[in-house]
Structure 1
Amino acid sequence: MIEKFERAAEEAGFVLDASQIAAAERLSALAAELTGRRRFFGGKQPRGVYVWGPVGRGKSWLTGVFYEALPVRNKRRVHFHEFFREFHAVYARHRKERNACDLAVAELLSDCRLLFFDEFHVHDPGDAMMMGRVLTSLFDQKVTLVTTSNYPPDGLLPNPVYHHMFEPTIKLLEGNLDVLEVAGPQDYRAESTTGAARSQFQRGAYIWPGTEQQLREAGLEPPTDGERQRIDIGGRDLVARAVRDDLVWFDFHELCDERTSTIDYLGLADRFGTWVLSGLPELTSGSRDAAQRFANLVDVLCDRDAKLYLVADGPLADCLRGDALPIDINRTASRLMLLPGSATPGATRATRQA
């Protein structure tokens, strides 16, 4: 399979660096194990692969090439957040059973033998505890896991107050997966010139400070007070500034300062493909929880290939600054930098006030 990686890189216009080659070789070996005869005649379960490193180094691209080229049917690729949303829904039906977690995993994956999680990260301690049970069930049911992350396993759930709670799960990951760092010198996403750096957020725009003229130039009619609408999501109401067919318009305060969750964002993304989020402040002035919710929202919208119009109080560099930012803000910034208008040359606090 290594030739497929080299060919895909050539078609995308770049050459594999040393860390990408090492990852490609390990993924090629895994492909051989998954498709070899021993796999179907009681052979040992292949070890999975955990690919981590900074944003834009080609982790998702490498694992995507592997997944698409792997000639097996019983495989599944799913974003981490999507899988756990499905899991919670199925788990609720089995929760009275003693082995509810095992039953839910078996129902979700059926005969799946290879599961691919993209963007694996853990911040919520409640999710972390359930995740340990799910991973144990996955490995007990002989599912091989491949995942990408911006963190090494021992960097997951980084909050020092809770990190010790996740240490057994870290050992579980390290015991079942080969950990590979992909951290070459080139940030392909920042350059955005190759297939490895393709971003869904090349649609939409970053708009600041968001005057009515700027909004109309972007094709957005400013919402009126009469367009405010309550949207039921998960049994409670969220207030949108406007709902227009496939477009939903939220204020940052209404969506991120409230106790919303990634599950809420996934439900909304099922219904709306075009988003306007207005009032993005300089995050240093807000709460860490609101900043983390914003980062989670960006993850969901990017992975869903949504069109995002982000209306901010200032340049992106000013907004994504401060001590209240989530640890993985680099991933958020990397994605938002590809919104047209987000990297205006010379955009500073001074030019905004001029």
Structure 2
Amino acid sequence: SWEPWLVLLIRSPLSSSPAVGQSGPYETSHCRQTLPEESRPPKGLYIYGNVGTGKTMLMDLFYSHVTNSRKKRVHFNSFMLDVHKRIHRRKQSLPKRRLGKMFTYDPISPVAMEISREISLLCFDEFQVTDVADAMILKQLFETLFKTGVVVVATSNRPPDVKLRNMYFSVCVQEYCHTVCLDSGTDYRRLDRPGAGKLYYLSGEPGAEAYLDTLFEEMSIRQRSPRVLTVLGRDVILQKTCGSIADCTFDELCGKPMGASDYLEMARIFDTVFIRHVPILTLTLKDQARRFTTLIDNFYDKKVRVVLLAAAPLDRLFVHTGGEDERDRQLLDDLGLTDDAAERLTLFTAEEEIFAFQRTISRLMEMQTETYWVEGDRSYSSRHLNS
């Protein structure tokens, strides 16, 4: 069912014409384009479906066929980090305000215009918003991007109507994108493929810690030492590293206020990360669970290899128990939302965590295969490229 949309996009003027996205803002009324039909860019795609069904593969296949250089393929987390940096840079460039002098400045539309001048096609993976502030930024950002002719191809586990309703998104996403459900009912990452050895250990197994110690010793070729990563002006300390390998605990990576920027920096430096003492993740550990899914998302996107020591097998690592915590209650009060309204927001339910963790489990399954392990060996990749 997706082939016609793929062919339509590949054969569209977007594939070669540099003019797309450069003609300036569209005159719109409730997101309605009023330019002549022949002047409009093609609609984008919003591809959704269950985990492991080939959404990213399809998007990458399309992206590789687009010859227009004004294109960008990025993971959703990286995209949001870039947007926040652009907003921060614009705010920093403002003249200093004198005491008592108040003025309002909205940097989101200028940032969107800046992006639209750079690209005419934006492909991004794993569209998932659980942060209210990000949702409000994206609403205004994408309204401007669409109006300036940027074509968006996105993948997500969630259908757009659910996400848009629950996270305040504009109906423009559905108006400017074809919605395609890609769900065969098969998670292809779970199909039998040659494994790369034992890479997932249970805490209760006799000698599990010793197995990880031995594997780390075998992979380590230089003196082990702590390493300090500087991320956005602050230090992230990893206690046990060696070259491109890091040996970390779950608490070290997910028990602290860390996020996508920290994990992206780790993925840039390390090709292999040991993660010890992963607990069973319940909703009472919602923050840690969200960080863990973000960690694995970024590692998977950058082909980082992982070895895990966990409290339960993969299919029993996430348990849907517990409920609203005190911080959620406080946020509801601050937003002035009733309990009925909160029930309709996935931010205050387990829906997003469940979907995200299904993706995490699926990706961890693939990350244990021989194919993934070989692709993630950067020293092998460098030798192969230089040979």
Q: Same fold (TM over 0.5)?
A: yes
| Residue 155 of structure 2, aligned match among 148, 154, 162 | 148
Q: Is the 2:50–2:185 Cα contact (8 Å) retained in structure 1?
A: no
- Report SS of the residue matched to 1:54: coil
Aligned ranges 1:225-240 → 2 under 5 Å: 227=225, 231-240=229-238
Separation in 2, partners of 1:83, 1:37: 24
Partner of 1:287: 285
Equivalent residue letter for 2:202: W
Distance 1:47 1:61, change over 3 A: same
Separation in 2, partners of 1:36, 1:212: 52
Q: Is the 1:203–1:308 Cα contact (8 Å) retained in structure 2?
A: no
- Report SS of the residue matched to 1:134: helix
Equivalent residue letter for 2:152: L
Partner of 1:352: none
Matched, 1:332 2:360: yes
With 74-83 and 315-324 compared, the bigger mean Cα shift is at: 315-324
Partner of 2:181: 181
Matched, 1:132 2:148: no
Separation in 1, partners of 2:88, 2:124: 22
Equivalent residue letter for 1:265: Y
| Residue 272 of structure 2, aligned match among 251, 254, 274 | 274
Q: Is the 2:225–2:240 Cα contact (8 Å) retained in structure 1?
A: yes
Aligned ranges 1:97-112 → 2 under 5 Å: 98=105, 100-108=107-115, 110-112=117-119
Displacement, 1:327? 2.4
Percent identity (aligned): 28
Matched, 1:24 2:51: no
Displacement, 1:203? 9.0
Distance 1:289 1:216, change over 3 A: closer
Displacement, 1:51? 0.5
Partner of 2:379: none
Separation in 1, partners of 2:209, 2:219: 6
Matched, 1:118 2:97: no
Displacement, 1:216? 3.9
Deviations 1:123-166 (A, max 9, x none): 11111111112212211221010111100113328xxxxx65x3
Distance 1:88 1:269, change over 3 A: same
Distance 1:228 1:114, change over 3 A: closer
Unaligned runs of 5+ in 1: 1-21, 158-162, 195-200, 342-354
**Cα RMSD for the two superposed structures:** 3.1
With 267-276 and 209-218 compared, the bigger mean Cα shift is at: 209-218
Distance 1:331 1:218, change over 3 A: same
Partner of 1:218: 215
- Report SS of the residue matched to 1:156: helix
Equivalent residue letter for 1:75: K
Separation in 1, partners of 2:362, 2:133: 28
Q: Is the 1:203–1:339 Cα contact (8 Å) retained in structure 2?
A: no
- Report SS of the residue matched to 1:94: helix
Separation in 2, partners of 1:68, 1:38: 16
With 328-337 and 277-286 compared, the bigger mean Cα shift is at: 277-286
- Tell me the TM-score normalised to structure 2 length: 0.70
Q: Is the 2:15–2:68 Cα contact (8 Å) retained in structure 1?
A: no
Distance 1:208 1:193, change over 3 A: closer
Partner of 1:205: 199
Separation in 1, partners of 2:276, 2:314: 13
- Report SS of the residue matched to 2:153: strand
Displacement, 1:296? 0.8
Q: Is the 1:241–1:251 Cα contact (8 Å) retained in structure 2?
A: no
Separation in 1, partners of 2:179, 2:284: 36
Partner of 2:60: 64
- Tell me the TM-score normalised to structure 1 length: 0.76
Distance 1:68 1:192, change over 3 A: farther
Equivalent residue letter for 1:308: V
Q: Is the 1:204–1:308 Cα contact (8 Å) retained in structure 2?
A: no
Distance 1:92 1:56, change over 3 A: same
With 228-237 and 128-137 compared, the bigger mean Cα shift is at: 228-237
With 36-45 and 106-115 compared, the bigger mean Cα shift is at: 36-45
Higher alpha-carbon Rg: 2
Equivalent residue letter for 2:64: E
Deviations 1:171-213 (A, max 9, x none): 121121111111113322211659xxxxxx9698222226343
Separation in 2, partners of 1:217, 1:283: 27
Distance 1:192 1:83, change over 3 A: farther
| Residue 46 of structure 2, aligned match among 32, 47, 50 | 50
Distance 1:154 1:228, change over 3 A: same
Equivalent residue letter for 1:292: R
Unaligned runs of 5+ in 2: 21-37, 95-104, 323-349, 370-387
Q: Is the 1:154–1:170 Cα contact (8 Å) retained in structure 2?
A: no
Deviations 1:28-78 (A, max 9, x none): 112222358999596212111101000111111122211112232222111
